Structure 1
Amino acid sequence: MYILQETLFSLEELQKIELENRLPIFFGALDLEPYAKQLRSSSPQGAIGHNREAILRALLAAPFEDIDTFTALHKRLDTNLRFRYQCGFDISQRAPSIATLSRVFTLITEKRLAEHLFHDLVKQCYDEGIIAGDKIAIDSTAIDAYEKKRPKSQQDGINARWGAKFDSFKNKLTWFGYKLHLAVDTESELPIALEVTPAHVNDGDMGPPLVKDIASRGSIDKVDFILEDGGYDQLKNYEIADYYGAQAIIPLNLRNEKEPPAGFASNGTPRCSMGYDMVYWGSQGNYLKFRCPHALGKVDCPNGMEWCSSSNYGMVRKINVKDDLRRFSTPHRDSQRWKGLYKERTSVERCNSRLKEYLTANDLHVGGVEKVKTHLYLNAIVLLASALAIKKHKNAEINSAA
């Protein structure tokens, strides 16, 4: 609980700090020198350019300060000496031009530096105990394109496309642009993996790549549960979770299923010989245990327990979840534990909301999927860096008071 209280609203906490102190605290959590080094020209010729680390700082400060265009960022650097100084520029020099900011952003995209920085910060947050990592939630959110809208016949399938999805009230929403597919640590509500696709890509198709990305990077030791909504109810999402030793918590989308499998309810609960749903009685390893509902007073069976079992305990049935990864789950579907886990899925919705409402995730002024991805990585980095900054700031306050 201590970790949760400290990091849940770290961005909001940081934004409440006085303006002149906010950026130094934010940048104090970041070591950008290794990334800035890759932005410097190796050629000894030409005029000395602007400090590349300072430009990288400015590009990270932009979403933090709700600056969504290179033009607006140049203006802030040009007119606000404190902001320019806090980003690390020599205030005796002129602010970098719009073209310079755009050029460095393109170089960051080509070298995938924002992606590398993001994953390094995920590992740092995990090592610091800010990210728990045992439960992750996955979902997507719409990102409106900066590009000009085009008919389907002129879309390339790589960049912005028309997309549609239903909101929580079953209203159909359409937009031209992209989808941000996000995996979030449910305890800290911080992003741990992301992908960007054209808007028409199905959510369920992006679950496996996100899980593979998390597992392959080794930033988190063990994921126990992967929480996704009914749009991810596809066998491949259960299989990828099981492959990495996790349990997928996904509501069943029964689609056109007219009858459940013989001897079972739709949610995987076995039925006794009289057709009553048996009672879930816990799990052991890969097996779910169910007991006679009459023995537990849940139903009044006309045949009593003797029909099925001579034991006073009543008939017991064990189900191996591996027999049907989609239908069966540990814990059992619709149990209190399962419902409690699924409620934590809303953490990804809150993370998406912060990226859009507090930062500039949905204020695109760059085109093409790769640049859009860089823009969204920079926004996600702000959330991670804010959590690290707040923890470091609070530790410093505690040490100074001691």
Structure 2
Amino acid sequence: MTIIRQGTLFGLQELYDMEPTQRFEGVFSAINIDPIFAVVTKKSRFGRPVDLNYAAMIYSLVARITERIPFVKDLVKRLKNDIMFRLDCGFLVSDSVPSESAYSRMVTILSESDALEKVKEQILYQAITEGFVTDDTVAIDATHFEAKDQAPPKEGKPKAEPKKRGRKSTEEREQWVIEQAEREANLTLFEKKIEDQLDVSLDELLAAVPQQPEWGVKKNSEGKNVFWFGYKAHLAVGTESQYILRSLFSSGNLNDGKAAISLLKGIQERLDLPALQYQTMDAGYDFEPIYEQVHRMGQQSIIAYNKRNEPEPEGFDKHFAPTCLREHSYRYDSYDKKYETLKSTHPKECHDCPLLHEGMSQKVYKVKITTDLRKYTAPARGSLAWKTIFKRRTAVERVNAYLKLYFQLDNVRYRTGKRGKVHVDLVTLVYNASKLAADRINARLNLQKQPA
């Protein structure tokens, strides 16, 4: 009996062409994968045969982030079962679907290179060139996320030996000094004080960042300590454009303030943003070396003040504005960039004050910000201008939320810090690429709306 086979009404290519859009085209077009492809592709004719589409594998990792596919095994399953998804990622019909091991090898190779960093910089450079990044303010903050591996038991602090009463002998004092010097010499760069980072190059700082998962602690809304095991992502975000200008991946126990100088130096050395004027951060970054680094960049620090049990200044209010004899605060007037001087005028309550007319109270008060960069900022602390700029800091919190909700920032599935960094770099890369794609679409639509 002859079996008659019914021919298909549409060919595979015709079915593919009938799709309304290629879902990832906008994001893929914003990413130049050449630096990544050059690292992961096979260089030698020896060894295992080359039967993998490496370019499509890279694009599929990007699609995994945008499609919120939690595991690589789910990505492989999706590629096997969804022909349209496989074609959208760049695989040919004749290509074999990569295994989980193949993706694992790719991630390991990427963890030993700076290819993702290069691609991130290229995306940001393209956004700057096309005029989408014109920020005058950068907001810096950190967000934590847990490692998915089982956390080791939290180590308690060792009990200190009971101190001997009385003064140390000369020999004991000399031995103690030697031990302290040895302890200081053995500290890593990020275990030392923040001021030790000021004169260190950016490359040295990035090479010294701790990246293994560690126990971290943070106060919750009730003021209680909450412990977690994992990592931190430190971000510098343009407050208007909301592009991630710099990012840093670290262990969970790294103090937020110790990551700030690396981010600031990265902005200074790797980006060309002439409109940039202000760096805004919360009270966790209130350290003198951070103010010094911002000042060296020719910019201003808008950082919440952390009192730290300091005494109330006499003759000044809580924002370090001078007060008159009746303890009314002077009003911020202006800032002289040439002389780096803040100008304040007498309080409005003193308009009819007899002390002012008798010369017992001065009309204008000037102070150079270099007197104390932490106390004197431009615009002055407590002024309306200062508060307006500080409110822009919420942009980095918004981006942190986007990365966790929509880009799987807190879904690190790797056991080592280096491989975890690949995940965070990929997440921030895809975020900026998606932002650039959206800005390009909006610019095109706005152009079409303009009358001919």
1:303 aligns with 2:355: yes
CA contact (8 A) 1:229 1:251 kept: yes
What do residues 162-189 of structure 1 show as CA deviations (whole Å, max 9, x unaligned)? 1111345645432110111111010111
Distance 1:396 1:330 in 2: 38
Shift in Å, 1:274: 4.6
The residue matched to 1:195 in structure 2 has which SS? strand
Match of 1:291 among 345, 352, 358: 345
SS at match of 2:264: helix
Deviation digits for residues 125-157 of structure 1 (CA, Å, limit 9, x no counterpart) = 111121224211000111110232013449x97
Matched, 1:315 2:363: yes
Deviation at 1:219, TM superposition (A): 4.2
Corresponding residue number in structure 2 for 1:381: 429
Q: What is the CA RMSD across the aligned residues, in angstroms?
A: 2.5
How far apart are the structure 1 equivalents of 2:92 and 2:272? 36
> How far apart, CA to CA, are the structure 1 residues paired with 2:447 and 2:21?
22
Corresponding position: 1:369 with 2:423 = no
Distance 1:380 1:325, change over 3 A: same
Q: Aligned partner of 1:381: which letter?
A: L
Q: Report the alpha carbon displacement of residue 264 of structure 1 after superposing the two structures with TM.
A: 2.2
How many angstroms apart in 1 are the aligned matches of 2:352 and 2:415? 65
Q: Tell me how far 1:391 sits from its aligned partner.
A: 3.1
Q: Which moved more, 1:163-172 or 1:61-70?
A: 163-172
Helix, strand or coil at the partner of 1:303: helix
CA shift, 1:363, in A, is: 0.9
Is residue 2:229 matched to residue 1:211?
Answer: no
After superposition, the Cα gap between the structure-2 partners of 1:190 and 1:218, relative to the gap in structure 1 and judged at 3 Å, is closer
Report the count of equivalent residues. 378
Over 3 Å counting, the alpha-carbon distance change for 1:359 and 1:171 in structure 2 is farther
CA distance in 2, matches of 1:166, 1:59: 35
- Counterpart in the other structure of 2:23: 22
Match of 1:61 among 60, 63, 82: 63
Cα deviation, 1:331-390, whole Å, max 9, x if unaligned, reads 011111100000000000000000000111001111222211110111111111112212
Match of 2:117 in 1: 115
* Larger displacement relative to structure 2 (164-173 or 109-118): 164-173
Equivalent of residue 214 in structure 2, options 161, 169, 182: 161
CA contact (8 A) 2:35 2:119 kept: no
SS of the equivalent of 1:239 reads: helix
Aligned to 1:193: 246
Among 316, 330, 336, the alignment partner of 1:264 is 316
Identity score, percent? 32
8 Å CA contact 1:147–1:160 kept in 2: the answer is no
Rounded to whole Å, the distance in 2 between the matches of 1:365 and 1:19 is 34
Partners of 1:352 and 1:19 in 2: CA distance: 32
Q: Helix, strand or coil: the match of 1:50?
A: coil
- What is the distance in 1 between the residues matched to 2:56 and 2:439? 24
Match of 1:9 in 2: none
Deviations 1:235-257 (A, max 9, x none): 11111110101111011111101
Match of 2:132 in 1: 130
Distance in 1 (alpha carbons) for counterparts of 2:221 and 2:244: 22
Residue identity in the other structure for 1:334: G
Amino acid at match of 1:266: K
1:277 is the counterpart of 2:329: yes
Structure 1 alignment gaps of length 5 or more: 1-17
Q: CA deviation at 1:400?
A: 7.4
Tell me which of 34, 46, 49 is aligned to 1:47: 49
What amino acid is aligned across from residue 297 of structure 2 in structure 1? Y
Q: Distance in 2 between matches of 1:168 and 1:237?
A: 26
- Distance in 1 separating the partners of 2:393 and 2:383: 16
Name the CA shift for 1:219/1:106 in 2 (closer, same or farther; >3 Å): farther
Quick check: 296-305 or 162-171, which moved more? 296-305
Q: Decide which moves more: 364-373 or 330-339.
A: 364-373
User: Are residues 226 and 400 of structure 1, via their aligned partners in 2, closer, same or farther at CA, if it must alter by over 3 Å?
Assistant: closer
Structure 2 distance, partners of 1:196, 1:34, is 21
Deviation of the 1:307 alpha carbon = 3.4
Determine the C-alpha separation between the residues in 2 that align with 1:136 and 1:27. Answer: 27
One-letter amino acid of the counterpart of residue 218, structure 1: L
2 CA distance for matches of 1:84 and 1:169? 48
Change (3 A) 1:344 1:98: same
Match of 2:228, SS state, is strand
Q: Out of 263-272 and 194-203, give the one that drifted further.
A: 263-272
Partner of residue 231, structure 1: 284
Q: Deviations over 1:44-66 (max 9, x none)?
A: 13412312111111111111110
Whole-angstrom distance in 2 between the partners of 1:245 and 1:392: 32
- Contact residue 36 and residue 53 of structure 1 kept, 8 A: yes
AA paired with 1:114? L
C-alpha distance in structure 1 between counterparts of 2:346 and 2:269, whole Å:
44
Contact 2:231 2:250 in 1 (8 A): yes
SS of residue in 2 equivalent to 1:297: helix
> Equivalent residue of 2:355, what SS?
coil
- The Cα of 1:276 is off from its aligned counterpart by 3.2
**2:402 matched to 1:354?**
yes
How far the C-alpha of 1:193 sits from its partner, in A, is 0.7
Q: Which residue number corresponds to residue 237 of structure 2? A: 184
Structure 2 regions of 5+ residues with no counterpart? 1-18, 157-187, 189-209
- Quote the Cα distance in structure 2 between the aligned partners of 1:150 and 1:125: 42
